[in-house]
Structure formats: structure tokens, C-alpha cells
Amino acid sequence: MQLIACPWCGPREEVEFSYGGQAHVPYPDDPGALSDEEWAHYVFFRANPKGRFAERWNHSAGCRRWFNAIRDTATYRFERVYRLDDPKPVIP
Amino acid sequence: MSPRTPGADLPEHPDSLWRSPEPKRSYDVVIVGGGGHGLATAHYLAKNHGITDVAVLEKGWLAGGNMARNTTIIRSNYLWDESSAIYEHALKLWEGLEEDLGYPILFSQRGVLNLAHTLQDVRDSVRRVEANKLNGIDAEWLEPDEVRKICPVVNTSTDIRYPVLGATYQPRAGIAKHDYVAWGFARRADEAGIDLVQDCEVTGFDTDGNRVTGVRTTRGTISAGTVALCAAGHTSVLTDMLGIPVPVQSHPLQALVSELLEPVHPTVVMSNAVHVYVSQAHKGELVMGAGVDSYNGYGQRGAFHVIERQMAAAVELFPVFARAHLLRTWGGIVDTTPDASPIVGRTPYDNVYLNCGWGTGGFKATPGIGSALAHTIAHDDPHPYVAPFTLDRFVTGALVDEHGAAAVAH
């Protein structure tokens, strides 16, 4: 089990968190204008990279707040955690 | 005594079951992924269609991914017609596979119990049993006392947190020895002249309009008439190279074995609600698995708290296991889809076929998908068994929701 650094609470054990999948997937600006294909992509299709992935986490057994993280899906290492209103960080 | 070189007295290395050829520069069919599905597809291309100018490219060693890591459960008791058709097709092939491959695979039809622990479980299970019967699949609903008769070590008392309220039972279901299955397919494919190329990772694709003309690998570029992607958890890595969006998410799925024990567990037991599935391997280990780790991951390992939870479930259901020691845990990478059904068939490239999204249950389908995909490649037309599982269904809405029958939460 690894420690995950909640931006509000600091490092806590992984069991306190729940996973929210890919981050930065905004609700469509004009939902009525979307084609079936565009809807399908909004609802069902998510990136699935091997490597760095911007994703959502919830500190569900702690402060219950959402945050974003950049995590490497091959090593599981968290590289950044950041608030939902922060822009996606650029990691060299 | 004079010192001897370490290893000098070892017996000679046994003969390999297949050649390890240098890849040719061109093949009629290139299969990416040398796991169960890739090897089975190669076998049926040769056996059923006489197509032998085929390479199976494997980035690691043959059948070292999910084929080496699954819990070997074979059954066909899925809810919908589309799923039960392909899984039952697979089960029928399993029943004759040892003969077909001329190789022992330890296929043991010891039956599978899917336990129900809530009223909703009971209703869903009974519905699934009736659906199975209509599709000609052997299925029964068992009350708790009947469950106890089939598997006496299951705790069917009413004083546990989630009492067993009954179970579905498929007597023809069972387990097989996963490695032997892979080796059997590999040996037959190799005998037919198909090249099984290990240590050969795909690094890119050469394309010309709507066609893939070559597969770039760590062992050179190989041109291909048809390409079939059978890469399971690594599918997205390949489809990202091709620019094809595919709605799969790769998750670690862990499994474990206990130390070797006397035969105590005569069947296969799966519990969706308490969440563990258990069988006892021929050698005597209790083989168990549970749900996926929640996050996306390609690490072939997961977190220990997931193991801990599944152990808690196992001990609750099988009090007799409390003294069994955990011997080994491992993880595979499963490619899950939004409807817990596979994605098989055409892609935006005319000569590229996709086979992925089998998630946590691909092993049982091995011969079925192998034969159906081989047919699809040979006729350049999706076999009826795979036709419902198009990539397109996520746009049309014709989903095949098997979250209930898939039995592994994801």
C-alpha cells in the first residue's frame, strides 16, 4: 500500500482514497449539438496510457474532497497532486 | 572431492515444444500478442483454414501475460444471447481440446457455483439460469442445502454477515491447466509452420491510407497482409500507435495461491457479493482471485489491501481455509470495457482486426475466440459469434451488459 498526498490532508494510506478515472474531461458546452459519436466518446471513451496519466482521486475516508493527480500507470508512482481548480501541471 | 563447476552435472535442456525462428520480412497474417488468444487464433487459422503464413509476435515470452496469471475458470453461464453463444462455443471446444491439440490440458469439468447473498442476487441468478436454459446451456438454481452437498466446505450457515441464499450451478464448467493450454496451442501452431516470435515488441505501424502495410518491431519491420491485435491489457498501447480510440481501461487484477493442501474443495466457487472466487488446482493449491485494483495500471501487480479483503471474504465463506498459508500473489493487466463484454472485429483500418476487452474473463473464451477470430480473418468477415461485439456498439448503443455474469467487479 502506498501513501497518497491529499492536497488538503497530506500523506494518507491508499485505502482512504477512491479512484475517479481520467481528469480534465469537461461536460460538453452544448450537449444538444453533439452527434451520437461525440456522445459515445464523452460517455464511454477514456485515455488509457501506459505512463503518466492525469486522473481524479477522492479522499473518501478522509476530507471527502476531490483532487487531481499525475500518476504513472506503469510504476504507480504519484508525480503530482493538485487541486481541481489548478491547471494540469506540465512535468518535464 | 575436487570442486565441480556449478551446473556441470545438470541434465541436458529438454527439447523445446516449438521453434524460436527469426521473423521473416513478410507474412499473410501477423498476430500481435502471443498469449492464449493469439496462439489459439494461429492454431485455428492453420487447422480450419489452411492459413500458415502467419507470425505471432510476443513482446515477452510466450503466454507469460494474462495466460500465465489467470485463475483458469471455464464456464459459459452468461446472461445475454450474444455472450452465451460465444462462451458456449468455447466450452464445446474445450470439451474436445485435449484431443484436438494432442496434448494434456487437465481440463476438469468439476462445475461452477455462483453464490447469491442478497435477494437481488437471487433474482438475478434465477433469471440468468432461465436465460441459460433457453440458450441450451446447462444451468441449475440450487438452494443452500444443495450448495452444501456439492461443496461441503462452503459456510452455508445463516449466522454470517452475508449468508449464502443459494447458487447457480453449471456442472459442465470447470478449470484447465493454463500453461498446458498455451503450450498445446503453441506446439500445434508451430507444427503447422507458423512462426512464434518471442522477445519481439511492436513499436509502431506503417500505414498507407486505410491499410496497415507493416508492423515495426524490436526485431525489424514485418509487412503484413492482415494484422490481428490480441494484446489484452496492452491493447491501448497498440491502438494509440494507430490512432484508434478504444474504450478500454487497463487495471491490475490480482490472484493468489495457498500452499499445497489435501483435496478439500471439489468444485469452483465464485461469489460476486462477498467477492472471491476459489478452486483447488490439481497440485493442491487453493487458487483465488477477486476484484480489480481500482486504478488504471500496467504494473502486473496490485496493492496488498485488495488481497487482504479477498482473504477476509475467503475465510468468511470457507472457515476451513483460515489456517492455510498464502504462498504467492501476482497480478495481470485486464482490459475492461464499459459493458464488461469484449470488443472484437473491424477497425478503421481495412486489414486490422481487434480482439480485446475480455477484461477479467478471457481465459475461458480462448478456443472460442481463437476459432471465431481465425474465421473472421480467413473470410475477412466477422464470424456471427463475434459480430455483436463491434467497436461501433458504443456509438449505436447496442451494448451487451454482462456486469452481472462477468462475476468480477470492475
* Cα gap B58→B60, rounded to integer Å: 6
Chain A residues near residue B250 by CB distance under 8 angstroms: 48, 50, 73
Tens of pLDDT, residues B144-201: 999 999 999 999 999 998 999 999 999 999 999 999 999 999 999 999 999 999 999 9
Across the interface, whether the CB atoms of A21 and B296 are under 8 A apart is answered: yes
pLDDT tens track for B210-255? 999 999 999 999 999 999 999 999 999 999 999 999 999 999 999 9
Neighbours of A67 (CB within 10 A): 23
In this prediction, residue B12 has a pLDDT band, given cuts at 50, 70 and 90, of confident
Residue B189, pLDDT score = 98
Q: Kindly state whether residue A35 falls inside one of the protein's structural domains.
A: yes
Q: What value does the CA radius of gyration of chain B take, rounded to a whole number of Å? A: 22
Domain tally, chain B: 2
B393 within domain boundaries: yes
Which CATH number covers residue A18? 3.30.2270.10
Nearest by CB to residue B245, choosing from A41, A55, A71, is: A41
**Over the stretch B105-158, which tens digit does the pLDDT of each residue have?**
999 999 999 999 999 999 999 999 999 999 999 999 999 999 999 999 999 999
User: In the 8-state DSSP scheme, what is residue B58?
Assistant: -
Q: Are residues B167 and B267 in the same domain?
A: yes
Nearest one of B344, B364, B366 to B356, comparing CA atoms: B344
Instruction: Looking at the structure, tell me whether residues B190 and B231 fall in a common domain.
Output: yes
B90/A79 Cα distance (integer angstroms): 43
**CA dist., res. B101 & res. B370, Å (int):** 13
CA separation for the pair A88, A56 (Å, rounded): 12
Domain boundary among B313, B336, B359: B336
Query: B410 in contact with A at a CB cutoff of 8 Å?
Result: no
Asked if B304 has any chain A CB less than 8 Å from its own CB, the reply is yes
Kindly tell me if the per-residue pLDDT of B7 is higher than 90: no
Residue in this structure with the C-alpha cell 443459494, named with its chain if needed: B166
Note whether A48 contacts B294, CB cutoff 8 Å: no
B53 and B115 together in one domain: no
On the question of pLDDT at B273 being above 90, the answer is no
Cα–Cα distance between B60 and A85 in angstroms, integer? 42
Identify the domain boundary among B297, B313, B336.
Answer: B336
Distance from CA of A64 to the nearest CA of B (A): 17
Between A14, A73, A75, which is nearest B303 by CB? Answer: A14
Cβ contact, residue pair A48, B396, below 8 Å: no
How confident is residue B36, by pLDDT bands cut at 50, 70 and 90?
Answer: very high
Q: Are B8 and B206 in contact (CB under 8 A)?
A: no
User: In 3D, which of B392, B170, B34 has the Cα closest to residue A40?
Assistant: B392
For residue B2, the model assigns a pLDDT of: 65
CB pairs below 8 Å between A and B: how many? 59
Q: Is the pLDDT of residue B290 over 90?
A: no
In order, the DSSP letters of chain A are --EEEETTTEEEEGGG-EEEEES--PPPSSGGG--HHHHHHHHT-----SSEEEEEEE-TTTT--EEEEEEETTT--EEEEE-TTSPPPP--
Q: Which residues does residue A13 pair with via DSSP β-bridges, in sequence order? A: A3
**B405 vs chain A: nearest CA distance in angstroms?**
20
Q: Which domain holds residue A75?
A: 3-83
Q: B276-287, pLDDT tens digit by residue?
A: 899 999 999 999
Does residue B95 sit within a domain? no
Res. B407: pLDDT tops 80: no
Q: Which range has the worst mean pLDDT, A66-70, B172-176, B303-307?
A: B303-307
Q: What is the pLDDT of residue B129?
A: 98
Q: How many domains does chain A have?
A: 1
The answer on B331 and B290 residing in a single domain is yes
CATH number at residue B374: 3.50.50.60
B53-85, pLDDT tens digit by residue?
A: 999 999 999 999 999 999 999 999 999 999 999
pLDDT for B408: 64
Q: What percent of chain B has pLDDT over 70?
A: 99
> 17-56 in A: which are within 8 Å (CB) of B?
18-19, 21, 36-37, 40-41, 43-46, 48-50, 53, 55
* pTM (predicted TM-score): 0.95
CA–CA distance, A35 with B276 (Å, rounded to integer): 41
Entry field: residues in chain B: 410
At B145 the pLDDT is 97
Question: Same domain for B239 and B262?
Answer: no
On average, the pLDDT of chain B sits at 95
In a domain, A90, yes or no: no
Q: Which chain B residue's Cα is nearest to A20?
A: B295
Residue B409 banded pLDDT, cuts 50, 70, 90: low
The pLDDT confidence band at residue B405, using thresholds 50, 70 and 90, is confident
CA B58 to chain CA centroid, nearest Å? 17
Q: Is the confidence at residue B1, as pLDDT, over 60?
A: no
Predicted pLDDT at B18: 95
The total number of residues shown for chain A amounts to 92
CA-nearest residue to A39 within chain B is: B395
Q: What is the mean predicted confidence (pLDDT) over A43-59?
A: 98
Q: In B, residues 279-298, which contact A (CB 8 Å cutoff)?
A: 294-298
- For residue B4, is pLDDT > 90? no
Encode B51-60: b = buried (16+ Cβ within 10 Å), e = exposed. Answer: bbbbbbbbbe
pLDDT at B406: 77
Our CA-based measurement puts residue B380 at a distance from the nearest CA of chain A, in whole angstroms, of: 25
- Those of residues 73-92 in A touching chain B at CB distance below 8 A are 73-76
